[in-house]
Homo-oligomer: A and B are copies of this chain.
Amino acid sequence: MTDEGAAPGMLRPGGRTARVRTAVLRAAEDALIECGFDGVDLAEIARRAEVGKTTVYRRWRTPQVLVADLLVDMAEQSVPRTETGSLDGDLRANARLVVRTLTDERQGVLFKAVIAAATTDQRTAEALHRFYATRIDEWSPCVDQAVERGEAPEGTDASEVVRAVSAPLYYRFLVSGDPLNETVADESAHAAACATRAGAYVRRSAR
């Protein structure tokens, strides 16, 4: 092992390095929104970020890795959760937020690009999974509260319910291409609430 005191090989994440990172991530986000994932060109991103292209290639190597880094950044920004006081209301609020995000001109394209990147690279996929794990954890409490209020059976797996709300929306977004709108959001939330009340999401260990 090369274990020296004031060793070479130590990182130096101070001022400039951090500035370059944020500049490149911003440029990458813009580029993804404008061109989609396959339109991304690291040299072009370097130009936009006003950074040498060598730097971008050296630090991130591939578009996938850059997207993975962007996802780490995105996961840190939290979206406030609305509380309506009922399971149906909370799930509906969540479903509508998802639909608004996916149908938003900029965000929808960005999410498609990010998901496309994740299908072709394991590390990007892991970053994506962590991103959604974060989002799901943020919304789970509304199901736990419903359990406390007696709206849902004891032992209900909160994150499973939250996933059930999003799943049909992402299925339409990525796979079937069926329309996404507020009605669909409400129906998805309602179906999840029905299944929850029927005990479909009670953890097996608690049955």
Q: Which residues of A are at the interface with B, using a C-beta cutoff of 8 A?
A: 36-39, 112-113, 115-116, 118-120, 125-126, 128-129, 132-133, 136, 163-164, 166-168, 170-172, 174-178, 183, 187, 190-192, 194-195, 197-201, 204
A128 to chain B, nearest CB (A): 7
Cβ–Cβ contact A167 & B177, under 8 A: no
Specify which chain B residues have a CB less than 8 angstroms from the CB of A177 in the assembled complex. 125-126, 128-129, 132
How many copies the complex holds: the figure is 2
Given contacts A119-B115, A163-B168, A175-B128, contact A198 B198 (CB under 8 A): yes
* Residue numbers in B under 8 Å from A166 (CB-CB): 171, 175
Contacts of A126 in B (CB 8 A): 177
Is B37 in contact with A174, judged by CB distance below 8 angstroms?
Answer: no
* Interfacial chain B residues near A197, Cβ < 8 Å: 198
**In the bound complex, how far is the Cα of B167 from the Cα of A204, in angstroms?**
21
**Are B200 and A136 interface neighbours, CB within 8 A?**
no
Residues of B within 8 A of A187 (CB): 200
Residue from the list B115, B178, B190 in contact with A200, Cβ < 8 A: B190
In the bound complex, residues from chain B placing their C-beta under 8 Å from that of A192 are 195
